[in-house]
Amino acid sequence: MLTIDAHLDLSMNALEWNRDLRQPIAEINEREKGLTDKPDRSKGVVSLPELRKGEIGLVVATQIGRYVAPDNPLPGWHSPEQAWAQTQGQLAWYKAMEEDGEMVQITDLESLDKHIELWKYAKSTPNKPVGYILSLEGADSIITLKHLERAYRYGLRAIGPAHYGPGRYANGTDATGKMGKAGLELLKEIEHLGIILDATHLCDDAFWQALDNFNGHIWASHNNCRALVDHNRQFSDEMIRELIERGAVIGAALDAWMMVPGWVREVSTPKEMNCNLEVMIDHIDHICQIAGNSLHVGMGTDLDGAFGKEQCPYDLETITDLQKVPALLSKRGYKEQDIENMMHGNWLRFLRDAWA
């Protein structure tokens, strides 16, 4: 079944992890054997051949470059200009993949419909390009609002104002506090340009303030449920209800610490924590029960988002195993139309509404 994944850090893996994502994931992992600079070396699950094999024909692919103030202990760049330069290198990688025929950028209804038709109906076409919608995870690299306009011109179509900790425009995961003047001006420009606001990673204060001050289209590319894993990174039921009211779609994430309570990084293992794809269905089902339908959840895996097989469901060898999800949804009683909604239909409906 055609699948859309609303959050993959492809360019980060290509440049910071030095992975040639055109290669089969087994070859990438073999080349990384013995490396210890990253905790997930030789444990990757995402590459372009795996996306094709898993019928994941369209992804929301990120740029990311965090600015850190002198008192911020998180990893990141020491000026917004450096962070911007990092995102421009990531953009150059996506463009190189387009030139090589591996990927194609999707920016409007025409390119979306053409690409979906290729993936749905041209089954015999080998090595179809993977479509990508460009998103910015954390807005710290937007030096000025003119830079946001420039980013829109090169194809940026979604943006999350915050990532982890305090940010230039908004506070994110593990931080608190409302947006200041710069954040509110950013929201206004996002709405003016017609860019999708990604509510993922906004701290609770910024989340509610953003929804009060933004009238454009909102989604949450990769978020799970606080009722099942009690952490500020997840959405409370109240937040989920508000997003549903606004017509949002929420992408289910496959980072184990967001899936099961009590996860200890670099200590817990997926097997011992009973973290499998069924747990993903628990989070999906929780959102569907709140909504009363299957119209507000999709895939937003975040796989290889600075973690690998050591921190994702034990029954997932590569991202291709998303094709196990329809059967698991069917087992829970979801009908064929519901399953199509969650695998690709909800993201398509959202995009067609946003880009109409």
Q: With cut-offs at 50, 70 and 90, classify the pLDDT of residue 108.
A: very high
Which residue, among 5, 21, 88, 46, has the nearest Cα to 319 in the 3D structure? 46
**SS3 string of the chain?**
CCEEEEEECHHHHHHCCCCCCCCCHHHHHHHCCCCCCCCCCCCCCCCHHHHHHCCEEEEEEEECCCECCCCCCCCCECCHHHHHHHHHHHHHHHHHHHHCCCEEECCCHHHHHHHHHHHHHCCCCCCCCEEEEEEEECCCCCCCHHHHHHHHHCCEEEEECCCECCCCCCCCECCCCCCCHHHHHHHHHHHHHCCEEECCCCCHHHHHHHHHHCCCCEEECCCCECCCCCCCCCECHHHHHHHHHCCCCEEECCCHHHHCCCCCCCCCCCCCCCCCHHHHHHHHHHHHHHHCCCCCEEECCCCCCCCCHHHCCCCCCCHHHHHHHHHHHHHCCCCHHHHHHHHHHHHHHHHHHHHC
Q: Is the pLDDT score of 257 beyond 90? A: yes
Res 118: pLDDT:
94
Q: What amino acid is encoded at 245 in this protein?
A: E
Res 134: pLDDT:
99
Res 53: pLDDT:
96
Separation CA 251–CA 173 (nearest Å): 17
- Average pLDDT of the segment spanning 209-229: 98
pLDDT digits (tens, 9 = 90+) for 150-188: 999 999 999 999 999 999 999 999 999 999 999 999 999
* 138 neighbors 160 (Cβ within 8 angstroms): yes
Q: With cut-offs at 50, 70 and 90, classify the pLDDT of residue 316.
A: very high
Res 56: pLDDT:
97
In the numeric block, the tokens 């089902």 are attached to 285
Separation CA 74–CA 273 (nearest Å): 27
Q: With cut-offs at 50, 70 and 90, classify the pLDDT of residue 121.
A: confident
Res 286: pLDDT:
98
pLDDT digits (tens, 9 = 90+) for 343-354: 999 999 999 999
Q: With cut-offs at 50, 70 and 90, classify the pLDDT of residue 126.
A: confident
| CATH number assigned to the domain comprising residue 270 | 3.20.20.140
Q: Is the pLDDT score of 124 beyond 80? A: no
Q: With cut-offs at 50, 70 and 90, classify the pLDDT of residue 125.
A: confident
Mean pLDDT estimate for the chain = 97
Q: With cut-offs at 50, 70 and 90, classify the pLDDT of residue 227.
A: very high
Res 171: pLDDT:
97
Q: What percent of the chain has pLDDT over 70?
A: 99
Q: With cut-offs at 50, 70 and 90, classify the pLDDT of residue 120.
A: confident
Q: How many degrees, rounded to 5, is the angle at CA 312 between CA 258 and CA 130?
A: 105
Q: What pairs with residue 198 in β-bridges?
A: 219
Res 209: pLDDT:
98
Domain extent at residue 136? 3-355
pTM of the model: 0.97
- Average pLDDT of the segment spanning 51-71: 96
Tally of structural domains, the chain: 1
